[in-house]
Amino acid sequence: MPVQLNKRLLTVEEYHKMGEAGILQEKGIELIKGEIIAMSPIGSKHASCVNLLNEILFEQLGRKVIISIQNPVQLNDSSEPEPDIALLKRTESRYFNQLPKADDVLLVIEVADSSVTYDREVKLPLYAESGIPEFWLINLEENEIEVYWQPAGDAYKFRELLRPGDVLQGRNMEVRIAAKDILG
């Protein structure tokens, strides 16, 4: 008979208090469903892809949105992931007094070389549940881009799989990117 362990899950507020008290490391962790999760180390391909996407998105969208790179987004009281890129609604304060919430997010992008399964099985349902309208998973291992849109419960109604010969078209904003420009 398996042993049932009692877990003490954290709220976002408790997580922040732990950070302020110096209990938590500053980088490499995120709060997912009340648990502190160690993030995968960022390798050169991953970092390069994030930098490239940042450059392309800024060229196409300019100051229409805030491009947030590897910063937290509070999805609910128990989850505060740090997506590789989040396109946020533009505000004058630039979220100075509070972190962006799910309603502030237009698009989340996760770049994955070793975390594809985690991003697909844990983060995708979390983003969908939170009502994030569009999610891109850049799969560096398979050289593919998965595009998800129209959240419904813990999934998205639509999914498109793109390869280097395809064009990535934003569903909620005017973005067109040749997939080969991202994937190589």
> pLDDT tens across 16-70, in order?
999 889 888 778 899 999 999 998 888 999 999 999 999 999 999 999 999 999 9
The pLDDT value given to residue 41: 85
Confidence of residue 1 (pLDDT cuts 50, 70, 90): low
Which listed CATH number (1.25.40.10, 3.90.1570.10, 3.90.226.10, 3.30.479.10) goes with 41-183? Answer: 3.90.1570.10
Residues 6+ apart with CB under 8 A from 92: none
The pLDDT value given to residue 15: 92
**Domains of the chain by residue range:** 41-183
> pLDDT tens across 97-156, in order?
999 999 999 999 999 988 899 999 999 999 999 999 999 999 999 999 999 999 999 999
Q: What is the pTM of this model?
A: 0.93
**DSSP code for 121:** I
Question: Average pLDDT for residues 148-168, to the nearest whole number?
Answer: 97
Long-range (24+ apart) CB contacts under 8 A made by 37-43 are 39/82, 39/115, 40/114, 40/115, 40/118, 43/113, 43/114
What six digits make up the tokens of 20? Answer: 């302020």
Residue 107: how many CB atoms within 10 A of its CB? 25
Confidence of residue 6 (pLDDT cuts 50, 70, 90): confident
What six digits make up the tokens of 27? Answer: 């980088």
